[in-house]
């Protein structure tokens, strides 16, 4: 069913004291089956100009939005109240949840993306993203391993915020789950078209972490896309969708260092 925008888009009090202004978008709705968001998803705007991206995020015809937009100069605008379901993730899945919009808060980061040269993210912008993420985490029950890239939850469709995004800066500030990546080297690897129990074990480890991947023993197109997404976030030295020794060791380290959850804490699904 196609989502319809709210009847109006009045200004609202900003949830974060870091938001310099509220630029309300009409594109939001009620969260479905979720008491409070427990995921933070980071995006890049992926358009040639930030002005164009802002217009897109506020256009009723486009039916897309995010809770926040962080400009290149570090200025932060809030577009949708955190209590509302912004339309930023699209068709996406993570850890069994299929309505990522309902369980997440979305931050758009102004950057033209891979299709338009993909420049580095300015330090002042990353500083603002980090501060905003810390503020959200201080108010929301979001575990470190549910601070994710758009490409993590939609690996077949999305590449953002991409391999140039400095996740380690956020991690040093206490945002997200990360391990030091193992440098690429020679050795055994798995790639598209291969089959067997080792591939199945790799898929199982990715699925256990949260990625939407079949545990089939066949290194299919979806497995390759998920591996590429994993590399964009966690093993950024080389993004090629091939499970080499470096990628496998980084995945193992990440899985072994995953923060523990309370025994009664469940993962919402929709």
- Secondary structure (3-state) at 230: helix
List the structure tokens of 19. Answer: 């938001």
Name the phi and psi angles at 83, rounded to 5: -70, -15
User: Which phi and psi angles does 22 have, rounded to 5°?
Assistant: -105, 120
Nearest by Cα to 246 from 193, 187, 200, 176: 187
Which tokens sit at 72? 């290149």
Catalytic annotation present for 224: no
**Rounded CA gap, 235 and 252, in Å?**
12
| Long-range pairs, 8-12, Cβ under 8 A, ≥24 | 9/58, 12/81
Q: How does DSSP classify residue 128?
A: H
Q: What angle do CA 228, 230, 235 make, to 5 degrees?
A: 95
d(CA 181, CA 238): 11
Q: Which residue has the tokens 């577009």?
A: 79
- 72, 82, 108, 180: which is the annotated catalytic residue? 108
Give catalytic residues, as residue numbers. 108
């Amino acid at each position: 069913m196609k989502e319809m925008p709210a009847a109006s888009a009045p200004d609202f009090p900003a949830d974060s004291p870091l938001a310099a202004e509220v630029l309300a978008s009409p594109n939001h709705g009620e969260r479905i089956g979720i008491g409070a968001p427990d995921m933070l998803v980071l995006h890049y705007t992926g358009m040639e100009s930030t002005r164009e991206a802002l217009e897109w995020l506020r256009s009723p015809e486009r039916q897309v939005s995010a809770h926040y937009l962080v400009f290149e100069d570090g200025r932060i605008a809030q577009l949708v109240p955190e209590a509302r379901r912004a339309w930023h993730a699209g068709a996406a899945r993570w850890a069994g949840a299929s309505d990522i919009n309902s369980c997440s808060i979305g931050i758009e980061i102004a950057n033209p993306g891979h299709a338009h040269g993909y420049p580095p993210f300015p330090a002042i912008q990353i500083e603002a993203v980090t501060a905003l993420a810390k503020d959200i985490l201080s108010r929301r029950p979001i575990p470190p391993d549910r601070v994710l890239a758009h490409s993590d939850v939609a690996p077949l469709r999305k590449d953002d915020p991409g391999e140039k995004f400095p996740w380690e800066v956020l991690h040093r500030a206490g945002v997200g789950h990360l391990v030091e990546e193992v440098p690429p080297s020679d050795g055994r690897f798995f790639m598209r078209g291969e089959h067997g129990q080792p591939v199945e074990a790799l898929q199982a480890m990715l699925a256990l972490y949260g990625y939407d991947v079949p545990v089939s023993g066949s290194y299919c197109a979806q497995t390759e896309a998920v591996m590429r997404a994993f590399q964009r976030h966690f093993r950024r030295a080389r993004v090629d969708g091939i499970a080499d020794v470096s990628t496998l060791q980084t995945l193992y380290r990440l899985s072994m260092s995953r923060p523990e959850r309370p025994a009664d804490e469940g993962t919402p699904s929709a």
